[in-house]
Amino acid sequence: MKIPLVDLKVQYQTIKKEIDKAIFGVIESSQFVLGENLEKFEQEFAKFCEAKYAVGVGNGTDAIYLILRALNIGEGDEVIIPVNTFIATAEPLNMVGAKPVFVDIDPETFNINVNKIEKAITKKTKAVIPVHLYGQSADMTPILKIARKNKLVVIEDAAQAHGARYKGKRVGSIGEVSIFSFFPAKNLGAYGDAGMVVTNKRKIAEKIFALRDHGRREKKKNQYVHRIEGINSRLDEIQAAILRVKLRHLEKWNKARRKHAKTYDLFFKKIDKITVPKIKSVCESVYYMYVIRVKNRDLLRNKLKEVGISTGIHYPIPLHLQPAFKRFGYKKGDFPEAEKAAEEILSLPMYPELTVSQIKFITTSIQKIIEKE
Ligand SMILES: *Cc1c(COP(=O)(O)O)cnc(C)c1O
């Protein structure tokens, strides 16, 4: 049985009629950029996040860049981020001349270790970007407290957590401002690139609206008045139309992911050598990834591949050891929990359309492999 890590083709088949209609509707209207679909999607996504404003942008990486610009974070400033995340959390800092300062992870949740944030703060620190990794919220209460005490802005990286909750609140509405990515494989994925900035602060939203569209805000009249220098990073109409369709299914899809996670949990709890993901009692995860810990990870991964089961590693190299960040002078041993996790984590197939028989095949295959070791 062939089982991919995520299966976007099977999802398309379940919503094909709606999607095709949405795409052709845009082509027929021939309003391709900054039209009705984006405006509506921004309202609908803000509502979904239980926040006031949402601003569609080109992708999640741009969303972080635009926020840094809007907050005037730049040359010489430092921003604290977890060391186990996708590189996109860190890259935009270089785009504005700021520097990432990494913090180790909590080995149970894989999210930023809140007890290690204060030690990383210097006079230059301007912000902290907690990442809601694998679909579970970072521990926001202590983060907000530390930020308030040290006058830091909290920027949530919710790229992997559309719909997740922390103490009942939707992620993306907890910090000052947040980002979402609609990369195709995310819980809410476009058919191409797209991203969003979400905030309750009108001033920040207004600034992002202008920055994403060459520094202008008024649409038709004053088309060539540019109040500030911006960039071109707009969420296009075809993607917005697709995302509006998919947003209507998201709660159901996230629920299916949680159900699959529960099935995995129950099975793996019987296997000593496997550590299942720990979800804090104050969190409701949307399981972007289902990540286990296991000692002989690479062996298990290869054997699963042999029987047709794809798995992933998110992420194999912590950011401080990435060749791209060599200039910051970090070395092996600086973040022991993230380094240890990088050797043991394994992401199993996780998508809403997984079937009971697929999950059974995955779990029993893993059991067989582990018992033979
Ligand atoms: C996907 C992702 C992003 C942004 O990705 P884009 O591909 O630019 O939309 C940012 N942070 C994290 C943690 C991500 O997983």
As a whole-number percent, the residues of the chain with pLDDT over 70 amount to 99
Best probe residue, ligand 1, of 181, 233, 286, 289 (max atoms within 8 Å of C-beta)? 181
* Cα gap 172→179, rounded to integer Å: 7
* Cα gap 276→280, rounded to integer Å: 13
Q: In the prediction, which pLDDT does 223 show?
A: 81
Closest C-alpha among 266, 243, 291 to residue 367: 266
Could you tell me the pTM of the whole model? 0.98
For residue range 319-348, what is the model confidence (pLDDT) as tens digits?
999 999 999 999 999 999 999 999 999 999
Q: How far is the CA of 233 from the centre of ligand 1 (A)?
A: 15
The overall longest dimension of the chain from CA atoms, in Å, is: 71
Average pLDDT over residues 251-278: 97
Query: Is the model's pLDDT at 217 over the cut of 90?
Result: no
Contact 28, 238 (CB under 8 A): no
pLDDT band of 224, cuts 50, 70, 90: confident
φ, ψ for residue 92 (rounded to 5)? -60, -20
Q: How far is the CA of 155 from the centre of ligand 1 (A)?
A: 14
* Cα gap 56→70, rounded to integer Å: 15
Q: Is 88 touching ligand 1 by the criterion CB < 6 Å?
A: yes
How far apart, in Å, are the Cα atoms of 13 and each of 7, 20, 263, 358? 11, 11, 25, 18
Mean pLDDT, rounded, of the chain: 97
Q: Is 85 touching ligand 1 by the criterion CB < 6 Å?
A: yes
Tokens (6 digits) for 45: 């996504």
* Cα gap 296→303, rounded to integer Å: 11
Q: In the prediction, which pLDDT does 372 show?
A: 87
Q: Is 178 touching ligand 1 by the criterion CB < 6 Å?
A: no
* Cα gap 177→201, rounded to integer Å: 8
Q: How far is the CA of 314 from the centre of ligand 1 (A)?
A: 12
Q: Which amino acid is at 232?
A: N
Q: In the prediction, which pLDDT does 219 show?
A: 66
For residue range 276-317, what is the model confidence (pLDDT) as tens digits?
999 999 999 999 999 999 999 999 999 999 999 999 999 999
By CB neighbour count within 10 A (0-12 exposed, 13-18 middle, 19+ buried), where does 229 fall?
A: exposed
Q: In the prediction, which pLDDT does 194 show?
A: 98
pLDDT band of 358, cuts 50, 70, 90: very high
Q: How far is the CA of 61 from the centre of ligand 1 (A)?
A: 6
Best probe residue, ligand 1, of 59, 61, 83, 182 (max atoms within 8 Å of C-beta)? 61
* Cα gap 370→188, rounded to integer Å: 34
Q: In the prediction, which pLDDT does 336 show?
A: 98
Tokens (6 digits) for 356: 């009971």
Q: How far is the CA of 220 from the centre of ligand 1 (A)?
A: 32
Angle between helices 356-372 and 237-268 (to 10 degrees): 50
Partner residues linked to 347 by β-bridges: 291, 312
Residue 246 CB neighbours (<10 A): 21
Q: How far is the CA of 372 from the centre of ligand 1 (A)?
A: 38
Q: Which amino acid is at 145?
A: K
Q: Is 187 touching ligand 1 by the criterion CB < 6 Å?
A: no
For residue range 135-173, what is the model confidence (pLDDT) as tens digits?
999 999 999 999 999 999 999 999 999 999 999 999 999
Residue 131 is given by DSSP the state: B
Tokens (6 digits) for 230: 């911006």
Query: Is the model's pLDDT at 72 over the cut of 80?
Result: yes
Best probe residue, ligand 1, of 156, 160, 291 (max atoms within 8 Å of C-beta)? 160
Partner residues linked to 208 by β-bridges: none
Please list, in sequence order, all residues whose beta carbon lies within 8 angstroms of the beta carbon of residue 341, skipping any fewer than 6 positions away: 84, 105, 107, 110, 293
Q: Which amino acid is at 213?
A: D
Query: Is the model's pLDDT at 120 over the cut of 70?
Result: yes
Q: In the prediction, which pLDDT does 227 show?
A: 87
Query: Is the model's pLDDT at 218 over the cut of 80?
Result: no
As a whole-number percent, the residues of the chain with pLDDT over 90 amount to 96
For residue range 26-54, what is the model confidence (pLDDT) as tens digits?
999 999 999 999 999 999 999 999 999 99
Query: Is the model's pLDDT at 220 over the cut of 70?
Result: no
